[in-house]
Structure 1
Amino acid sequence: MTVSTASIRAVGVTTYGAPDALQVVEVPKQELGPTEVRVRVTAATINPTDTYTRNCSRSKTGTPRGAADVPGMDIAGTLIEIGEDADTSLSVGDRVMGIVVPRDDHGAYREDIVLPARSVTAAPRNADDIAASTLPMNGLTARRALDLLALNPGQVLAVTGAAGSTGGYVIQLAKHVGLIVVADASEADEELVRSLGADQIVRRGEGVADRILELYPDGVDGLFDGSVQESAVLPAVKTGGGVATVRGYRGDGKRDLRVHAVSVVDMVEEQKKLDELRQLAEDGVVTLRVADSYAPEDAWRAHERLEAGGTRGRLVIDFTR
């Protein structure tokens, strides 16, 4: 099969930098492999990790390769082509969502994308594409964290960054399997975090470990450190307890803790787990939270808003605009 010479619209960077480095670009349309599917993307979620593609943190050369570097890790849209050996029960025309591993121009901020068939599943029936696009990356990160912690019903899980999208999914998935959840929140976010199902709430910020220990003097059984407090929050976990961290942190080695560095890349072809999240969204177990959507040419404004902090719910690029 020959690679198509056609180009498609994307949002990316030709020069790394601040949010205004993002622009609408043309990138080559990708070839469809036998085990892959093609999706016409209508919505691509903006996540904090996307800023690392934009600002050069992920580049080994300092220069984008090919037409541009395209960020983005999750999409929703319409399935328009299926490879002859693709492992899927989906059909052309189905509404779908999928998880993306960005590499060069292959990130999610593009109106046409080719993905492994097992990275794509049906979108929740009760959610539009904007909302559906917010589930794959954050939802699978939360699922991976809880799988690694392997806590039993009735055990106690602490969650930092509880008002964030991943933290919120961790709370809801943890409650679904019978865990007790103590979560951090600012005063402004307390009502939101309580609505997500947290059993107890402590004030977020410096000293959060001490506030958790006031509730559980022996420490909690597990911790999801969504706000990247790392060594500052480890004392809240009992000796022998489990910790799920993001951004590669593996603990300080001072106590006997089971520290798991969560990587969603390990989940990119876990189609069954992605589809379970779809079902949980349809059942109302997990809540899809959208803060706002932007036209592709305004994606830089979304990055600017994201980096300003305080956004609750996800910002999304709407390729139908």
Structure 2
Amino acid sequence: MRAIVVKGFGGPEVLELIETPTPEARRGQVRIKVAASAVNPVDVATAAGIMHQIGNAPERAQVGIGWDVAGTVDAVGEDVTGLAVGDRVIALLDRTGAPLGAYADYVVAGTHAVARVPEGVDLDEAATIPLPGLTALQALEALDLKPGDTLLVTGAAGGVGQFAVQFAAARAIEVVAQGSPEDEGFLRAIGATHVVHRGQDLGEAVRAIHPGGVDAAIDAAVLGIAALDAVRNKGAISTVVGSVPHLRGIRVHNILIQADETHLAEVLGLVAEGFVRLNVAGSYPLERAGEAFTRFSARGVRGRLLIKP
């Protein structure tokens, strides 16, 4: 089979298309014929060597690229129940720095990381879910909010932010979304009640709406202390990269993404019921993955970019 790997670190130029043996599904695993993978910031960071520099990936001669995958089960290993050959599925490959990733013709994944895609949900669009969808859901659940509570989402038009806004709106949580003026209409359409703009003093802009601060925040834009400043005393914040100080009694949750088939199935259910929309901005064949990286790194892409074998 074909796969994209890196054997040295850098920009799009280090992505290498190789021929490698097709992996076999072992105990507790399924093999998936890939329909599409999605480009994530962690993919670019892995290719650049950042994940290795910060100690989140082991040193090895070859590193696979890609975490998000959608496709069709074409083989099952021993002790697999609930999944069968022919099932349409999504999966999250969360083993950082593994020799092979999701940018490939086939992948293997443990059943704990795989969920069946409901009828009516487009398989390519479903490839946009795993990493940002799980990050947003796990960040929201950590905050333990109730209907009517208030939530700030920074970077709300980005991958994680879009999911966070929609998940919160589906739970009747009032969302204050931070984004560009150009994204305001889009953010309101996906469930934001209020929109504050990038470049504003975030704490002051949010407190102009809620003087005491919001009940909680999901800091998808990694703004750190600026996001914390918008949260009320004894509120809560979920960070997706790094952390913030424990000030004013605010609970801090550092979200470290983990594969979870139940959470994946929950997101897919929300999509099937029409509570969550999925956005694909473009797709590239496997051999043009470098072009996808170049476009992704240029910023300003509202939807997700797909890699298709």
Structure-1 separation of matches of 2:58 and 2:135: 29
Rounded Cα–Cα distance in structure 1 between residues aligned with 2:193 and 2:30: 41
- String of CA shifts for 1:171-216, please: whole Å, max 9, x gaps: 1111111111111121111111111110111112341221001111
Q: What amino acid is aligned across from residue 65 of structure 1 in structure 2?
A: R
The 5-angstrom pairing of residues 1-321 of structure 1 reads 8-59=1-52, 65-66=60-61, 68-86=62-80, 88-101=81-94, 102-249=96-243, 251-265=244-258, 268=259, 270-319=260-309
The one-letter amino acid of 2:11's match is A
State the secondary structure of the residue aligned to 1:189.
Answer: helix
Structure 2 residue runs of 5 or longer lacking an equivalent are none
User: Structure 1: how far apart are the matches of 2:170 and 2:266?
Assistant: 12
Amino acid at match of 1:205: G
Q: Give the 3-state SS of the residue equivalent to 2:242 in structure 1.
A: coil
Aligned-pair CA distance for 1:125: 2.4
Corresponding letter in the other structure for 2:100: H
Partners of 1:20 and 1:64 in 2: CA distance: 20
Cα contact 1:187–1:203 (8 A) shared by 2 = yes
CA distance in 1, matches of 2:9, 2:194: 42
Gaps of 5+ in 1: 1-7
CA distance in 1, matches of 2:109, 2:189: 35
Whole-angstrom CA distance in 2 between matches of 1:159 and 1:111: 35
CA deviation map 1:64-109 (0-9, x unaligned):
624x3112111011101111212x4122011111111143323211
Q: 2:24, 2:31 within 8 Å by CA — same for their partners in 1? A: no
Which AA in structure 2 matches 1:264?
I
Output the aligned Cα RMSD: 1.7
Q: CA deviation at 1:43?
A: 0.6
Percentage identity across paired residues of the two chains: 37
Looking at structure 2, the residues matched to 15 and 145 of structure 1 have their Cα atoms a distance apart, in angstroms, of 33
Equivalent residues of 1:17, 1:56 under 8 A apart: yes
Report the CA distance shift for 1:159/1:226 in structure 2 as closer, same or farther (over 3 A).
Answer: same
Aligned-partner residue type, residue 275 of structure 1: A
Asked if the contact 1:33–1:83 (Cα under 8 Å) also holds between the matched residues in 2, the reply is: yes
> Structure 1 pair 89/63, CA: closer, same or farther in 2 (3 Å)?
closer
| Aligned residue pairs, count | 306
Larger mean CA deviation between 122-131 and 109-118 belongs to 122-131
Are the structure 2 counterparts of residues 125 and 64 from structure 1 closer, same or farther at C-alpha, using a change threshold of 3 Å? farther
Q: By how many angstroms is 1:13 displaced? A: 1.2
Once residues 225 and 133 of structure 2 are traced to their aligned partners in structure 1, the CA distance between those partners, rounded to angstroms, is: 25
Structure 1 residue 28, shift from structure 2 partner: 3.8
- The secondary structure found in structure 2 opposite 1:17 is coil
Give, in whole Å, the separation in 1 of the partners of 2:241 and 2:208.
Answer: 28
Cα 1:12–1:158, aligned 2, differ >3 Å: closer, same or farther? same
SS at 1:178's partner residue? coil
Name 1:4's counterpart in structure 2.
Answer: none
